[in-house]
Amino acid sequence: MKKALKYVFLVLFAALASIGIYEFIEANEPVETEGNILVYQDDLEKSFLADTDYTIDEPKVILNPYGNSPLTALIIFETNDLTTPTITIKGKDGAEDITHTFIPNKVHILPVYGLYADYENEVVINVSEKEKTIKIKTEALPKDFIKADITENDLKNGQFYFTTPEDKNYTVAYDNDGEVRWYLTGDYKWEVQRLNNGHLLISSDKLVNLPYYSKGLMEIDLLGKIYYQYDIPNGYHHSVIEMPSGNFLVASNNFKDGTVEDYIIEIDRNSGEIVKEINLHKLQNNNKENWLGINSLNYDSKTNSITFSGENGNMLANIDYKSGEINWLIADKNNVPEKYQKYLLNTEDIVMPNHPQSLEILNNGSLAFINTKDDGIYLTIYNIDTKNKSVEMVSEDKLDDEALDANITITDENNYVLTAGSYFKEKNNDKTFTIDTDTDLYNTAKLDLYANDTYTSGAGTKLGSLGITETSKDISVLFHKSDETVIDKYNLSFVKEADRLVVTGTFKKSDDVQIILDNFLTKRTYDMVISDTPYENNNNKNEEVTVSKYINSDDIYGKFYIYIRINDVNYKLWKYVTF
């Protein structure tokens, strides 16, 4: 009898437990999910390339084919013979036309770049002595768009000024009338760079850490098609260069060291793997807030060396690429650790670097960079004599009275494009052209709209990894509060991206916060750094800041229920995430 009662009790307990677990599971909601951009673009492409059986008389036209480049289109048609098509995008109100000839083919998939916004664009197709004119109507620019005022310029036909924003805004190309002729809808920072294959290299539109450290890099064409997405564990900032090998040399970070912008990495172009790491924090005193601030990189194949500028360290430096050893330094002796002072060059007769930016090596080997003085910024040029360990001051030209931050792209020995604040300026053969905008810009490049890129179909590829997110000591959630008002109180949001969970909230700097993921069998606890920098900032503890915690999908699988711990109190949020 006792055995039977015990059995009944166990069955009843199991049933009640099952009901409780079922109700617990049903009461939780999944977090918001963001789609995979590579999958999304591949689906779009498969759809519009499923049928190419169109003719020159009635071609297929797809505006904004990849969903992120509204002033581009694809024209698709077939010909019986191998033919060489040419397209012409007609200029508006007497502006110059843009003409481009494509490679011979029978199936023609023609990218159209440089359409006008809010306009019925006229595009002329010529193939085998046959001409067809089509009209492509575009939508208006977003209301918050960057406007430009260009009164005079020196652009050649088909050239455009490509600009990137200082803060959240649009990556844009302007023609010689100040008309917007291309833009991306995502939030891309830093540089727009033309690669040797004609594609563009831009930052990811997502962050790995505040305030501006990008998740990685993307290789795209002007249609917005992503060919490669490179994830970088400690992010990308300020500068990247394409090496002669095709690999990328990237200004990155090492957040575990508690510093930022002291790190250079090389990324294998084909695998996305980090194949070289150079930690330059050694050039600074061991203080986590005394960071070097690398903001420009240059590779010299003749000497196999890297030259860089360190804004916070007031330093220019050159290191051997193979060994990572220092070749020379230009800096105040008092700012350099004693063991590295032997690498300092003789700087007796020069104006010293002060918050140097945008360093470039000229064709004659001289160094050109932007230097800061009390009365403004200057384009400063040095000659380096490594044999005699000395520096010669070649020239110092004042660029702006008020700008604190600026970037410069040297177009040839005596000419440049300067970006400072809300304007960019081109100096070309003793002529200067200034272009004003209504937002702060980061960088400007003068690029051809059509380069040597060739449209290629196929899914984009994700390379590299964000790495495993570090966990802290596990915290029990047995005792917790079921208070969903905490979500509104702290402006909490939860988004599952393709490769990570993003938790965002607004807290005081004095708050102690952890994210806890629990699936009964295992538990993971993650500390949130409540600071507007990647490391803890204890200044003004009552100040509120909005921060995000990025929990990468590497080495975490399955369904997890989300708790948040704020100042030693656990809160059940009735949400779950699936990795």
Domain with CATH 2.60.40.10 in the chain: 37-137
**pLDDT class of 19 with cuts at 50, 70, 90:** very low
Write the CB contacts of 563 (distance below 8 Å, at least 6 apart in sequence). Answer: 477, 480, 515, 516, 517, 518, 570, 571, 572, 573
- Quote helix, strand, coil % in the chain, to nearest 5: 10, 45, 40
Q: Average pLDDT, stretch 97-118?
A: 96
pLDDT of residue 17: 44
User: Of all residues in the chain, what percent carry a pLDDT higher than 90?
Assistant: 68
* Alpha carbon 96 to its chain's center: 32
**pLDDT class of 33 with cuts at 50, 70, 90:** very high
**pLDDT class of 148 with cuts at 50, 70, 90:** confident
**pLDDT class of 20 with cuts at 50, 70, 90:** very low
Please check whether residue 59 is in contact with residue 76, taking contact to mean a CB–CB distance below 8 angstroms.
Answer: yes
Condensed to tens digits (0 to 9), the pLDDT of residues 380-437 reads 999 999 999 999 999 998 887 666 778 888 776 667 788 887 777 777 766 677 777 7
Q: In the structure encoding, which two tokens stand for residue 167, read together?
A: 């803060």
Q: Residue 507's beta-bridge partner residues? A: 545
For residue 226, how many C-alpha atoms fall within 13 Å in the half-sphere facing its CB?
Answer: 27
Q: In the structure encoding, which two tokens stand for residue 33, read together?
A: 């999910």
In this structure, which topology does domain 37-137 adopt according to CATH? Answer: Immunoglobulin-like (2.60.40)
Is the predicted pLDDT of residue 6 greater than 60, yes or no? no
CATH number of 470-578: 2.60.40
pTM (2 decimals)? 0.90
Q: In the structure encoding, which two tokens stand for residue 255, read together?
A: 């957040």
Taking phi first (over 0 means left), then psi (-120 to 50 degrees means alpha), and beta for anything else, what does residue 36 get? beta
Please check whether residue 430 is in contact with residue 84, taking contact to mean a CB–CB distance below 8 angstroms.
Answer: no
Condensed to tens digits (0 to 9), the pLDDT of residues 157-201 reads 778 989 998 887 899 999 888 899 999 998 898 999 999 999 999
Is the predicted pLDDT of residue 287 greater than 80, yes or no? no
Q: What is the DSSP string of 336-386?
A: S-GGGGGGB-B-TTSPPPSS-EEEEE-TTS-EEEEEEETTEEEEEEEEEET
From residue 391, alpha-carbon distances to 186, 349, 404 in Å are 43, 8, 25
